[in-house]
Every structure is written in structure tokens, then in C-alpha cells.
Amino acid sequence: MLFETLTTSGHEQVVFCNNPDVGLKAIIAVHNTVLGPALGGVRMRQYANEGDAVRDVLRLSRTMTYKNALAGLNVGGGKAVILGDPKVDKTEALFRAFGRAVDALGGRYITAEDVGTDVNDMELVYLETEYVTGVHQVHGGSGDPAPFTAYGTLQALMASLQRKLGHEEIGKASIAVQGLGHIGMELVKLLRERGARLYVTDLDPARVQHAVAEFGVEAVGVDEIYDVPADVFAPCAMEGALTMETIERLKAKIVCGSANNQLANHAVGDELHKRGILFAPDYAVNAGGVMNVSLEIDGYNRERAMRLIRSIYHNVTRIFDVSEREAISPQYAADRIAEARLASIGKLKLPMGRATPRMGHLRGEQH
């Protein structure tokens, strides 16, 4: 049954890591290494059951293959999950044991932070393996990827405004931001600096209060965010925010946000397309974080990172072009572009993806 699933999803390798002495239960999924070593973060989460954890890591790692391919990166797609509550189960030993499991893959998988893990956890992983990104800058790392993801989301927003409204002036736009976490709050800051009118919401009232006091935005209820009269709806919270029910309520002409897997299913994307609501595919929009950490592999350089992240504007524009030309919805257009790159590079018959040791990283050099 599991092997059948892996055949359908196209995974190369799935590793179960079990160390009861330190409480480690983790799964590393290497989806595709055609373009290079599989790069993707490690999520720590208390799953309802082990089956949910397997499904999550398989889905997330596959998305990384598409995200990295579309972003033009020379890395493949992978992801890991640690089963546990990030609020109570984190220990040094746990992350070091995870680091050893990553190291044992010899560079086929490179990890980073994700939901439930952070830069400090990656520092512990780094004690055991070279194959980790998103470590502190003092170690040649790039730090927290969230501000870079937010900056990439801004590029995608400008490309979407240009396509739908014929201008890319954020200051002329009204935007509804759902979720004020690492990305949402940073995005609010970037958008307010450019003069946008913002409606915001979050489950956590303290975050909403902070955004109102700090950035002068308009707070709305968690459920009301779908109804506000904004040009853009920016989902920056959880997965599956877009359902047949929620899109029915949208006044926005554009959906563009950082959340992963925003569409509850593909039919929702088709429905958005039918209604003339422009959907900027999530994995193209939120690639800024992985673009940033990917540069750690051969020596991090912030200027290069910002340049790379600005290419999200062109990646999103290209998706819209293909969508219009082929009369397909943008999420299919994005998949098609990513698959075309994988197919053409796959023909090079490269040896198995392998990370090069980060020499600068080892020497603590600043590039």
C-alpha cells in the first residue's frame, strides 16, 4: 500500500528515523533529486496519528520539487517531519539525533526550518551535519527565511496587480491579509511602507492589536476577512483557506499570499479562474524563503539572494502568460512549467543529486 502510494507520488526515498532514547520519531521524504539535492524544511507537529504524518511529509516534499523547479533552483524536493509538540518536546538531543539522520543521507537531503522549528533548532542540527541551511549568519547562514518569503510575496503581489489591474502600485491597492505570523506581520510592514490600505486578521488578538498599533491597519474578525472590499486577498495563515464556500464570498479580484497549499482542491482553483479571480500559485509566491536558504549551499550572499527573490515577479508573470495562452488555470500552468524543467534537465542523465560541502560555511567566511 505504501509502495503503491510512493509509485503514484513519484518519491525516490522515504526514511523513518526512530530513536526512543531521545524521543525522536521523524520521517524524511526525498521526492526528487533530478535538479540536485532535495532541499526542504523540517516541520515539527503533533499529528493525530502516524498516517497523517506520512501523508503530510509526502505531500510537502512533492510540493518542494515543484517549488524549487519553478523557482529555477538547482535543488530537488524533499521535506521532513518530526512527530511531537514543538512547545514541550524540543530538546538538544532530539535535534542532534535528527541531524545525524540527515547526515546519514550523505547530502541527498538538506534540511532547514519550517513550521514548528526555528534557527536555534537548526543550530543544533548543524552540530551533527553540514546538510542544514537557515542557520545563524555567524555560521555563514542566512538566518530566518520568513522576511525573505514576505519580500517574495510582495514581488508576486506586484506582478498580480500588474496583470489584473494594469498597474503595480501597492499604494493604490487595498489588501486583506489573513494571518499575522512571521510572514503576515512582515508583509503588513512592507505593504504599509508602500502605502497600501490593509485589512488584517489573526486568531491571536495580541497580534492583531500589535498590527493596528504599529502599522495603522484595519482589524476585522477571523471569519470576516473573506468579505472585505479589498482588491487582493492574501492568505498567510493555514492551508486550505480557499474552499468553494470561502471563494463565493470574496470581493477581491486577486488571490496572492504566502500560505502553502491554499486551494482545498484543484476544483477550487478552476472555479477561481472561471470567476475571473486571478490566483497567483502559492508555491511560486512563497519561494523566497527557499531561494534564500538555497544560496547557503555554495556560499550565502544577501545581494544575490534579493536579486533571486525579485525573480518571483517574472516567475509569476510567466505563469499568467502560460495560463492565458493555454487557457488553463494558473495552478496548472505553474505545474506545467515546473514539470517541463524537470523533464528537460532529467534528460541530462546527471548522477544522483548530491550536496557540495559548504566550504565557506565550514570556515565561517562571509561572502
Residues within the interface to ligand NAI (CB under 6 A): 115, 145-146, 149, 178-184, 201-204, 207, 222, 236-238, 258-260, 286, 289
Partners of 175 in the beta sheet? 198, 232
Is 179 labeled as ligand-binding?
yes
Q: In whole angstroms, give the CA distance from residue 122 to residue 197.
A: 37
Nearer to ligand NAI, 222 or 328 (CB): 222
Radius of gyration of the chain (CA): 20
Is 107 labeled as ligand-binding?
no
CB of 273 to ligand NAI, least distance (A): 22
* Type of residue numbered 158: M
Is 247 labeled as ligand-binding?
no
Among the options 25, 79, 90, 164, which is catalytic?
79
Nearer to ligand NAI, 96 or 181 (CB): 181
CB of 64 to ligand NAI, least distance (A): 10
CB of 145 to ligand NAI, least distance (A): 4
Is 367 labeled as ligand-binding?
no
Is 183 labeled as ligand-binding?
yes
Do the Cβ atoms of 299 and 367 come closer than 8 Å?
yes
Angle, vertex CA 267, rays to CA 27 and CA 287, nearest 5: 50
> What does the block give as the cell for 276?
475571473
Check if 90 is active-site.
no
Distances 140 to 30, 100, 268, 361, 364 between C-alpha atoms, Å: 25, 20, 42, 5, 5
CB of 35 to ligand NAI, least distance (A): 19
Closest by CA to 215, choosing from 180, 240, 182, is 180
Taking CB atoms, the residue at the shortest distance from ligand NAI is: 181
Q: How far is CA 52 from the centre of its chain?
A: 20
> What does the block give as the cell for 298?
555554495
**What is the layout of strands, in order, in the sheet containing 254-255?**
218-219, 197-201, 174-178, 232-235, 254-255, 278-279
Q: In whole angstroms, give the CA distance from residue 293 to residue 315.
A: 18
Nearer to ligand NAI, 234 or 297 (CB): 234
What are the DSSP E strand ranges found in 33-164?
A: 38-39, 42-45, 76-83, 109-110
Do the Cβ atoms of 285 and 258 come closer than 8 Å?
yes
Is 254 labeled as ligand-binding?
no
Give the residue ranges of the annotated binding site for NAD(+).
179-184
Give the residue ranges of the annotated binding site.
179-184
Catalytic residue ranges: 79
